[in-house]
Copies of this chain bind each other. A is one copy, B any other.
Amino acid sequence: MAGKEQRGGAAPERVLSAALNLFSRHGVSGTSLQMIADELGVTKAAVYHRFQSKEEIVWAVVAPALERLAEVAREAEAQPRRSRQVGTALAGVVDLVVEHRRVSAIILTDPAVSRLVRGHPVLYALEERINRVLAGPEPDAETLVGAAMLSGGLMAAGLDPRLADLDDDTLRRHLLDTARRLMRLRPLPRARTAAEF
């Protein structure tokens, strides 16, 4: 496994990388600052020199994915027609999950992270915006079920070891096809890539 690394010390990006690894494997509550420090080959105090608290590390880990999600919401809401809104949002969240697999997973599943994110008013509203774009203004029960299954399904697929061999583009294409089927959208013409929709 990952032995102790001494080169580079507690540089911020090394801390965040180690933290993400450990959060994925043990959950946020199951990860101590000691474990992060050990992974980097430094002491806890060195980590505390860069981040004032454990919570600050968690925020720094999830921030990039959340900013991307906000961007996806903006892009989707800017589309004039409903069908384009759903398509844009789906392609956006699929891209997001493929590129930030493990961050997406800890945001969606770790209770400590969920609390943190949902406790933030802007981010709580962001979740609702995404849901509204995906399910529409007055969704029937089946659409609601599809939308609910989407996030968890994408997360599970992004993490599944059986899919780890697929390259990103193939995974993205299959995920988008499957996600559209889940949401009862018509299949996309083969030639187009996910980014074009």
Report Cα–Cα, A24/B110, bound state, in Å: 10
Query: Quick one: closest B residue to A111, CB to CB?
Result: B27
Whether A157 contacts B163 by the Cβ 8 Å rule is no
Report Cα–Cα, A108/B29, bound state, in Å: 17
Q: Is A146 part of the contact surface with B, judged by Cβ < 8 Å?
A: yes
Whether A156 contacts B149 by the Cβ 8 Å rule is yes
* CB-defined contacts of A146 to chain B, threshold 8 Å: 178
Q: Is A170 part of the contact surface with B, judged by Cβ < 8 Å?
A: yes
Q: Is A20 part of the contact surface with B, judged by Cβ < 8 Å?
A: no
9-residue interface stretch from A57-65, A71-79, A137-145: A137-145
Q: Is A160 part of the contact surface with B, judged by Cβ < 8 Å?
A: yes
With both chains docked as a complex, state the minimum distance between the C-beta of A158 and any C-beta of chain B, in angstroms.
Answer: 9
Interface residues of chain A: helix, strand, loop or mixed (majority)? helix
Whether B149 contacts A153 by the Cβ 8 Å rule is yes
Whether B174 contacts A182 by the Cβ 8 Å rule is no
Contact of A182 among B112, B144, B166, B182 (CB under 8 A): B182
* Per-position binary interface string of chain A over residues 23-43, scored 1 when its CB falls under 8 Å from any chain B CB and 0 otherwise: 011111110000000000000
Query: Quick one: closest B residue to A181, CB to CB?
Result: B181
Whether A163 contacts B178 by the Cβ 8 Å rule is no
Given contacts A25-B111, A27-B29, A148-B163, contact A153 B141 (CB under 8 A): no
Q: Which residues of A does B touch, CB under 8 Å?
A: 24-30, 108-112, 131, 141-142, 144-146, 148-157, 160, 162-163, 166, 170-171, 174-175, 177-179, 181-182, 184
Q: 19 pairs across A/B with beta carbons < 8 Å?
A: A27-B27, A27-B110, A29-B29, A30-B112, A141-B166, A142-B177, A142-B178, A144-B162, A145-B171, A145-B174, A145-B175, A149-B156, A151-B156, A152-B155, A152-B156, A153-B153, A153-B156, A153-B182, A155-B156
